[in-house]
Amino acid sequence: MIDSKNVKIPLKVNAIVTHAHSDHFAAMNSYSPTFATQATIDLFNNLKKTKTRSNFIPVEFNEQLKLQPDTPDVKISFIPSGHILGSASVIVENDNSRLLFSGDVGGKGQLTSLAPLKAVQADILVVEATFGSPELVFPSREEISMDILKWSANVIKENKNVLFSAGRLGSSQELIKLFNNLTNLNVVTHGEVTQLSEIYQKHGVKLAFHDSKSEEGKEILRNGEAIIIQPRGKKIVPYFITEHVECKTAIVTGMATRFQYRNYDASFPLSSHANFNELIDYIREVSPELVFTIYGLEKKLAEAISRELDIPAIPLKDKTPNAIQKTSEKIAAEQNIRKNLEREKIPLKKIESKVVSKEKKEITLDDFFKQDD
Mean of the pLDDT values across residues 171-193?
A: 96
The answer to whether residues 113 and 150 belong to one domain is no
> Of 304, 319, 334, which residue sits at a domain end?
319
Provide the pLDDT confidence category of residue 237 given band limits of 50, 70 and 90: low
CATH number of 304's domain: 3.60.15.10
259 and 290 co-located in one domain: no
Q: Is residue 242 part of a domain?
A: yes
Asked whether residue 214 is assigned to any structural domain, the reply reads yes
Residue 199 lies in a domain: yes
Q: What is the mean pLDDT of residues 42-52?
A: 81
Q: 238 is in which domain, residue-wise?
A: 141-268
Q: Element (H or E) spanning 43, and its range?
A: helix 38-48
**DSSP-derived pairing of the beta strands 88-94 and 97-101:** antiparallel
- Same domain membership, residue 62 and residue 151: no
Percent of the chain with pLDDT over 90: 59
The whole-number average pLDDT for the span 176-182 is 97
- Tell me if 122 is assigned to some domain: yes
Question: What is the average per-residue pLDDT within 328-355?
Answer: 60
Domain identity same for 104 and 149? no
Whether the predicted pLDDT of 351 surpasses 50: no
Q: How far is CA 151 from CA 28, 158, 160, 298, in A?
A: 40, 11, 12, 34
Asked whether residue 366 carries a pLDDT value surpassing 60, the answer given is no
Identify the helix (H) or strand (E) that includes residue 200.
Answer: helix 191-202
| Residue-wise pLDDT tens digits, 280-306 | 999 999 999 999 999 989 999 999 999
* Arithmetic mean of pLDDT, 84-89: 96
Residue 3 has pLDDT above 90, yes or no: no
Q: What is the pLDDT of residues 191-234, one digit of tens each?
A: 999 999 999 999 999 999 999 889 999 888 888 789 999 998 77
In a domain, 307, yes or no: yes
Q: Give 109-151 pLDDT, tens digit per residue.
A: 999 989 999 999 999 999 999 999 999 999 999 999 999 999 9
Residue 55 Ramachandran class (φ > 0 left, ψ -120 to 50 alpha, else beta): alpha
Q: Are residues 179 and 91 in the same domain?
A: no
How far is Cα 83 from Cα 43, in angstroms, rounded to an integer? 14
* Beta-strand relationship, 56-58 and 75-80: unpaired
User: What is residue 292's three-state secondary structure?
Assistant: strand
Cβ–Cβ under 8 Å, residues 89 and 100: yes
Q: Are residues 66 and 99 in the same domain?
A: yes
Same domain, 123 and 225: no
CA end-to-end span of the chain, whole Å?
24
Here the CATH number for the domain that contains residue 257 is 3.40.50.10890
Residues 101 and 200 grouped into a single domain: no
Higher pLDDT, 220 or 28: 220
Distances (CA, A) of 30 to 11, 15, 38, 47: 8, 9, 17, 15
235: pLDDT confidence band, cut at 50, 70 and 90?
low
Mean pLDDT for 328-350 is: 64
DSSP state, residue 112:
T
Query: CA–CA separation, 76 vs 91, rounded Å?
Result: 5
Residue 57 lies in a domain: yes
Task: With residue 283 as reference, give the H or E element that holds it.
Answer: helix 276-286
Evaluate whether 177 touches 112 at the Cβ level (below 8 Å).
Answer: yes
Domain assignment present for residue 3? The answer is no
User: Is there a single domain that holds both residue 112 and residue 196?
Assistant: no
Task: Name the amino acid, one letter, at 31.
Answer: Y
Residue-wise pLDDT for 239-265, tens only, equals 666 555 578 999 999 999 888 898 899
Q: Is residue 45 part of a domain?
A: yes
Spell out the residues 6+ positions from residue 168 whose beta carbon is closer than 8 angstroms to its own: 190, 192, 193, 196, 231, 232
**Are residues 208 and 303 located together in one domain of the fold?**
no
pLDDT score of 39 more than 80: yes
The total number of structural domains in the chain stands at: 2
Same domain membership, residue 219 and residue 70 = no
Backbone torsion region of residue 224, taken as left when φ is above 0, otherwise alpha when ψ lies between -120 and 50, otherwise beta: left
CA-closest candidate to residue 296, choices 278, 312, 282, 275? 275
Write down the pLDDT at residue 18. 94
Are 150 and 260 part of one and the same domain? yes
